[in-house]
Amino acid sequence: MSTKGWMERAEKVLMKTYARTPVVFERGEGVWLWDAEGKRYLDLVAGIAVCNLGHANPAVARAVADQAARLVHVSNLYYTTPMIELAEELVKACFAERVFFCNSGAEANEGAIKLARKYFKDQGRPERFKIITMLGSFHGRTLACLTATGQDKVKKGFEPLPEGFDHVPFNDLSTLALKADESTAAVMLEPVLGEGGVALPQPGFLKGVRQLCDERGLLLILDEIQTGLGRTGHLFAHQAEGIEPDIMTLAKGLANGLPMGAVLATDKAAAAFSPGSHATTFGGTPLVAAAALTVWRTLTKPGFMDGVREVGGHFRARLEELCRRHPVVTEVRGRGLMLGLVLDRPAAGAMHTLRERGFMVNVTQDKILRFVPPLIITRDQVDSFVQALGEILADL
């Protein structure tokens, strides 16, 4: 069936929550995607920073098939071996001592918000319930996460929103210090703003936030849903900043496309969750945990992160060449393989032209081309993309 035929069928049955790109994908392999008409594309979206090991990864596919033949689901009323192994691997590699598995980034952030509120409630401080987040942030589409998000455009039509969230500018420690008061429970932020435009923290900002939280007795929640799991060239983006949070959320690349999220926390913070205080039916099922274990063990192989940093550095250097050569480009942003090219005009036209030439990218904040390819992309593949991008920018 043609792309048009598939789209006509979709329009009859799907809710109109997305302005979908007019392409229908049927299969993928590594960094490549093929549409319903057989055209091949180099994928620099990776399911929005999800398919870190590429499409149809053989090791992940084997792990899922093997686990599906053994045990898929029993609920969290019981223990399962893949969940325990995955939790052990995660806590070995970071600050955390406890893990709660869920199904998505929004659910992970909801869990983190609940945990922060319950933490102070248990201390006899119920007045400390507010969460401070950053303007430009994005934390998910549930009602609480919408309110936490620092972008008004995603909130329209869903009022009234839950109370208990304040917003301050990213990289503005002084305003954050003024906003934090006796009603504040936590500061929640992305180490690099993703949907907010691939914006990096200024040197010392995250350390300053950590210090402020320590001085005021606040919890620090890091939303590493997009930045975690190797995306910035480190297992977790905060590790490059020399800080540790009290709570961290993960999702996206955790199971390479299967739905999985996680809330990681210190023993002290995690103690606020007791039996019955929080739950999920599908979180951490044997199936998705088996996939996530394979992903994790690949990411943590010696040299893997070195490769991400090397290719990411090469990619950024090539984008900076374009910035110098083409006046339409105003800035290059990002770290590792989470990169953005800021244009002086809306970027949708460039995105569509790239798609026509066989390259999938997406746009954030109207003028920013965002590149979050599978972490297995090569220098040669980056170079072929940058050459095409340069030709398109010259036409602009």
Structure tokens at 103: 């199904």
- Catalytic residue check, 16: no
Q: Which amino acid is at 79?
A: Y
How many CB atoms are located within 10 Å of the residue 11 CB?
Answer: 10
Residue of 138, 170, 205, 315 with catalytic role: 138
Q: Is 205 a catalytic residue?
A: no
Q: Are 83 and 115 in contact (CB under 8 A)?
A: no
Q: Which of 252, 359, 367, 385 is catalytic?
A: 252
Catalytic residue flag (residue 138): yes
Q: What angle do CA 128, 133, 139 make, to 5 degrees?
A: 115
Cα four-point dihedral sign 386, 387, 392, 396 = positive
* Strands annotated E in the chain: 25-29, 32-35, 40-43, 98-102, 130-135, 165-169, 184-189, 219-223, 247-250, 261-265, 329-335, 338-343, 359-360, 362-364, 368-371
Full DSSP string of 96-148:
-SEEEEESSHHHHHHHHHHHHHHHHHHTT-TT--EEEEEET----SSHHHHHH
The span from the CA of 370 to the CA of 46, in Å, is: 11
Q: Distance of CA 222 to CAs 20, 180, 206, 364, Å?
A: 30, 17, 10, 21
Work out the angle at residue 43's Cα, subtended by the Cα atoms of residues 47 and 38, and round it to the nearest 5 degrees. Answer: 110
Q: How many angstroms separate the CA atoms of 314 and 339, rounded?
A: 11
Given a contact cutoff of 8 angstroms between Cβ atoms, the answer to whether 359 and 385 are in contact is: yes
Q: Which residue is catalytic, options 95, 205, 223, 385?
A: 223
Q: Which residues are catalytic?
A: 138, 223, 252
